[in-house]
Every structure is written in C-alpha cells, then in structure tokens.
Amino acid sequence: MIAELECVVLDCPDPHALAAFYRDVLGGTVDRPDPRWETADDWATLHTPDGRVLGFQRVTDHRPPQWGDPGRPQQFHLDLGVPDLDHAQEQVQALGATLLDTTEGWRVLTDPAGHPFCLVKR
C-alpha cells in the first residue's frame, strides 16, 4: 500500500451549504476540528459517523457536470446505500437534490451544486 484515502473533495460554489446538505444526508459533523485541515470561507469538511471525510472547496467558476453530456462528464460520483429508495429519494429531494434518472435498484440525483450521486438499495 502506498497511501490511505484521507478525504474526497468536491468542488462547488458554496462549501458550507454543500457540507450541510451531505451532513443532512449522511449524518456527521461539519467543520469538526481536525489537524489535517483548516476551515475557512472557501473550505468545509464533513466527518461522517463511519469515519469517512468529505471536503468541499469553493471554485468561483464552478461548472457542474451535465448528466449524459460527454462535454461535461460526471468525473466521479458517490454511491450511497439506503434501505428504502423511495423514502431516501424524498428526503434528499427535500434537502435540495434533483432527480435525474430512476432504475430498478437505484436513483441518480444531483446535489445542490450539481454533482451526481446515486442512492443504491442495500
């Protein structure tokens, strides 16, 4: 092993708003003190209950991916396991997510900054 994953970082126009969105979806603490990162206007973190960390950094000219458009590909996405797809979809949409696609066993949505993520039936 060469390295350990420290954090997945998402570019976005408003780091604190996107951190709050994912806190409401995944649980955890926004901007918990951590010697690895400083919190600032242009940076926020989310420490999830299972120990994973997401980072959010401000990009002034953020251009979100466009689902299905190879000119603006998704680049990466998060798969989030849920016990009830319909209920989870309702909850994340109430938090600001947008539905893109539904398929047997998963839903494709975007977070408020336009990053795609999937809800996957556990």
Share of the chain above pLDDT 70, in %: 98
Torsion of CA 9, 13, 18, 20, to 10 degrees: 120
CA-nearest of 16, 22, 112, 122 to 64 is: 112
- pLDDT tens digits, 53-96: 999 999 998 888 887 788 877 777 788 989 999 999 999 999 99
Strands 116-121 and 78-82: parallel
| Homologous superfamily (CATH) for 78-121 | 2,3-Dihydroxybiphenyl 1,2-Dioxygenase, domain 1 (3.10.180.10)
Residue 40 or 18, more confident: 18
| Homologous superfamily (CATH) for 8-58 | 2,3-Dihydroxybiphenyl 1,2-Dioxygenase, domain 1 (3.10.180.10)
CA-nearest of 20, 89, 28, 74 to 53 is: 28
Q: DSSP strand E in 35-103: where?
A: 43-47, 53-58, 78-82, 98-103
